[in-house]
Amino acid sequence: TALPAAGVSLSASATPSPADQAALQRVVPAPTTATAATGTFTLTSAATIHADPGAEPVATELAAYLKQQTGLALPTTANTDAGIRLLLRPTGGDPALGAEGYTLTTTPTSVTLTAATDAGLFHGVQTVRQLLIGDKLQAGTITDHPRFAYRGVMLDVARHFFSVADVKAYIDAAALYKVNEFHLHLSDDQGWRLTVPGWPKLAAVGGSTQVGGGHGGYYTAADLKEIVDYAASRSMTVIPEIDMPGHVGAAVYAYPTLACDGRRHGPVTSVSPGYDALCPSSESTYRFVDSAMKAAADATPGSPYLHLGGDEAQALNLTRYNAFVQRAQNLVAAHDRTPIAWAEAGTAPLLPQTILEYWNTGQPQPSVLQAAAKGTKLIMAPGDHAYLDQQPVADFRLGLHWAGYVPVSKAYDWDPVTVLPGVSPSSVLGVEAPLWTETVKSLADAETLAFPRLPAIAEIGWSAPNTHDWPGFSHRLADQAPLWDKLGIAYYKSPEVPWG
């Protein structure tokens, strides 16, 4: 056997080591391909950022992120031989990358992101943030694109109200995981959170309550514009939800005649849903619905969608419920939005473009399967995998457990295209991780339920099935923790994750 003679040193090879490869793979969601090279790029105060015309806003965000992470304030430049380059190229240099994909090429002297759109560049920037260890980036090439077009998170601001600043912080944390849809649950039994012209008491009275009896709150049109603009700067669309015809306790508290009985209704401050419903046989109901839809649509320019709720309308029989859903989706369509509704709405005759959001567990409702067979697209948010409000373990300080306990391994252990038997993969538009806030009183509470499970669901939405691997994922999650610490994101130190 040939052993190297004593004293002979093996020269540094140009073949990347397993450590190089591991350093390039520490990204969540797992990228499509990652091929390490030897060496690292070192960020110094002399580095500059080049942005192609149109990419300047992303360059500004990148500079802010790098400042936050490293303290270095790097200038942007028109000079194309800058160390860090954001390039907009048709097809992002690779047609397979699509509208949201990107290529990241790192050498010891440069970091180059190439994408067809600023959304693609922005997602690539998130990869750069995660790859940065101190001031070093591993050399190599990543090509990356999403599996699903719709990768959402939902925040319930009705059960507990969240300030604009808190909502922005939640959006920023989700952006790190390439989430592109922010579903804002703006109304429920316990609170109505947006101003509606012509219906002043919705915000003034309906907005004055929340779970536990606190004073609630609501967003003005200017507040929502601030949220929408902030989300847009993070390549995210805001999808407003006005939940109807059930879950309307706050609306009927403000305007009792919206319910069929017309009697005075008290504020709902308990956790259990009230059993009010909008009166489906009254024309004034639809004037209200139209005003609310218009306010929601006007407040969220740039969103193709409007969510009309439709869940748990126990107060109506099926005929009356279906009649309501049918008219409500027509009103959404009349405001040039694609309607989204919770899965229950599958019993109604749906417009061809209406999307159902599947939140249920166990035996699927036949109506959902039938709708999918007829071409209805689905957003998958199964409660027993994707619900961030479900407790990760028994007796957790926050959350509920009607769908069982959802540890991070379970949030990761599912495939959106096999949740519903017989449903074609092409019916699945994507995934969503809803955060209901009955027990959630602060941003830190919200983050504690969302992390580390939000990144798990984001990976289910973004990454190709062939990257699926729990041990690898759990290590990549552990690698995220220093960044959460740096950014001040609260998280649950799940014993399933090998934290460093």
* Residues designated catalytic: 312
> Contact between 436 and ligand TNX (CB under 6 A)?
yes
Residue of the chain from 359, 462, 473, 491 that contacts ligand TNX (CB under 6 A)? 359
Number of residues that bind ligand TNX (CB under 6 A): 9
Q: Give 406 or 456: the residue with its C-beta nearer to ligand TNX.
A: 406
Residue closest to 434 by CA, chosen among 164, 156, 168: 156
Beta bridge partners of 390: 400
Residue of the chain from 162, 219, 324, 342 that contacts ligand TNX (CB under 6 A)? 342
Work out how close the CB of 389 gets to ligand TNX at its nearest, in angstroms, rounded to a whole number: 5
Query: Segment 234-293, which members bind ligand TNX (CB under 6 A)?
Result: none
CA–CA gap between residue 188 and residue 195 (Å, rounded): 14
Q: Give 183 or 476: the residue with its C-beta nearer to ligand TNX.
A: 183
Q: Give 101 or 399: the residue with its C-beta nearer to ligand TNX.
A: 399
Q: Which uninterrupted H or E stretch holds 434?
A: strand 428-435
Scored b (16 or more CB within 10 A) or e, 319-336 reads ebbbbbbbbbbebbbeee
- Please list, in sequence order, all residues whose beta carbon lies within 8 angstroms of the beta carbon of residue 45, skipping any fewer than 6 positions away: 72, 73, 74
Give SS3 for 342. Answer: strand
Question: What residue type is 348 in one-letter code?
Answer: A
Work out how close the CB of 402 gets to ligand TNX at its nearest, in angstroms, rounded to a whole number: 6
Interface pattern 381-410 for ligand TNX (x via CB under 6 A)? ------x-x----------x----------
Work out how close the CB of 28 gets to ligand TNX at its nearest, in angstroms, rounded to a whole number: 25
Residue of the chain from 94, 135, 312, 496 that contacts ligand TNX (CB under 6 A)? 312
The string of DSSP codes covering 355-397 is EEEE---SSPPHHHHHHHHTT--EEE--HHHH-TTB-SSTT-S
Q: Phi and psi of 170, rounded to 5°?
A: -65, -40
- Please list, in sequence order, all residues whose beta carbon lies within 8 angstroms of the beta carbon of residue 272, skipping any fewer than 6 positions away: none
Neighbours of 260 (CB within 10 A): 18
Q: Give 148 or 387: the residue with its C-beta nearer to ligand TNX.
A: 387
Residue of the chain from 311, 384, 432, 447 that contacts ligand TNX (CB under 6 A)? 311
Q: Is 283 exposed, middle or buried (0-12, 13-18, 19+ CB in 10 A)?
A: exposed
> Contact between 161 and ligand TNX (CB under 6 A)?
no
Work out how close the CB of 200 gets to ligand TNX at its nearest, in angstroms, rounded to a whole number: 26
User: How many helices (H) does the chain have, and how many strands (E)?
Assistant: 15, 17
Q: Give 188 or 479: the residue with its C-beta nearer to ligand TNX.
A: 188
Q: Give 259 or 403: the residue with its C-beta nearer to ligand TNX.
A: 403
Work out how close the CB of 50 gets to ligand TNX at its nearest, in angstroms, rounded to a whole number: 46
Q: In the complex, which residues of this chain contact ligand TNX (CB under 6 A)?
A: 311-312, 342, 359, 387, 389, 400, 436, 438
